[in-house]
């Protein structure tokens, strides 16, 4: 699976990247709106994991822009400031799921499952796959 992580905190990027690459996923990273738009124009991703607060950029705005451009990837928005308002704004921006930091790799998998997007191991394989519920 091709996954794009959009996050400006290198510790979080490395945590997610290590976990996903250990499951044989191809992982790309971006830390700004410009990089995200460049990466999504260059290739299609199965999943985009997108931080809401990216320095001067806003993940909600990036999510809306991606949807307006026809990007159909599953989008998970994440934030350190988890509130009901932000969760609603995430959904309204076109995100498939929302996750408050800090979280574990298992929390990431559970979040997709709760939203009808199942991250699971393929039968007889160690590759994590995303399936619509």
Quote the pLDDT of residue 38: 98
Quote the pLDDT of residue 112: 60
pLDDT in tens, the chain (133 residues): 899 999 998 988 998 898 888 878 899 999 999 999 999 999 999 889 999 989 899 999 999 999 999 999 989 898 877 778 888 898 899 998 887 777 777 777 676 666 555 444 333 333 333 333 3
Q: 131 in helix, strand or coil?
A: strand
Q: 75 in helix, strand or coil?
A: strand
As a whole number of angstroms, the distance between CA 75 and CA 6 comes to 11
Task: Report DSSP state, residue 83.
Answer: -
- Radius of gyration, alpha carbons of the chain: 14
Residue 126 CB partners (closer than 8 Å, separation 6+): 23, 24
CATH architecture of structural domain 2-103:
3-Layer(aba) Sandwich (3.40)
Quote the pLDDT of residue 109: 67
Nearest to 112 by CA among 74, 81, 62, 72: 74
Buried b (16+ CB within 10 A) or exposed e, 71-100: bebbbbbbbeeeeeebbebbeebbbbbbbe
Quote the pLDDT of residue 124: 37
Domain range summary for the chain, segments of one domain joined by +: 2-103
Q: Which residue has the tokens 């009808």?
A: 116
Q: 68 in helix, strand or coil?
A: helix
Quote the pLDDT of residue 120: 41
Quote the pLDDT of residue 92: 93
Quote the pLDDT of residue 39: 98
Quote the pLDDT of residue 117: 53
């Amino acid at each position: 699976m091709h996954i794009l992580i959009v996050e400006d905190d290198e510790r979080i990027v490395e945590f997610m990247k290590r976990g996903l690459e250990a499951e044989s996923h191809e992982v790309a990273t971006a830390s700004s709106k410009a990089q995200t738009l460049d990466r999504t124009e260059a290739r299609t991703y199965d999943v985009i994991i997108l931080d809401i607060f990216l320095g001067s950029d806003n993940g909600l705005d990036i999510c809306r822009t991606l949807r307006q451009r026809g990007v159909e990837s599953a989008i998970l928005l994440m934030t350190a400031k988890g509130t009901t308002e932000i969760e609603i704004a995430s959904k309204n921006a076109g995100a498939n799921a929302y996750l408050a930091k800090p979280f574990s790799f298992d929390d990431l998998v559970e979040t997709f499952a709760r939203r009808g997007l199942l991250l699971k191991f393929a039968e007889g394989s160690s590759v994590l796959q995303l399936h619509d519920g």
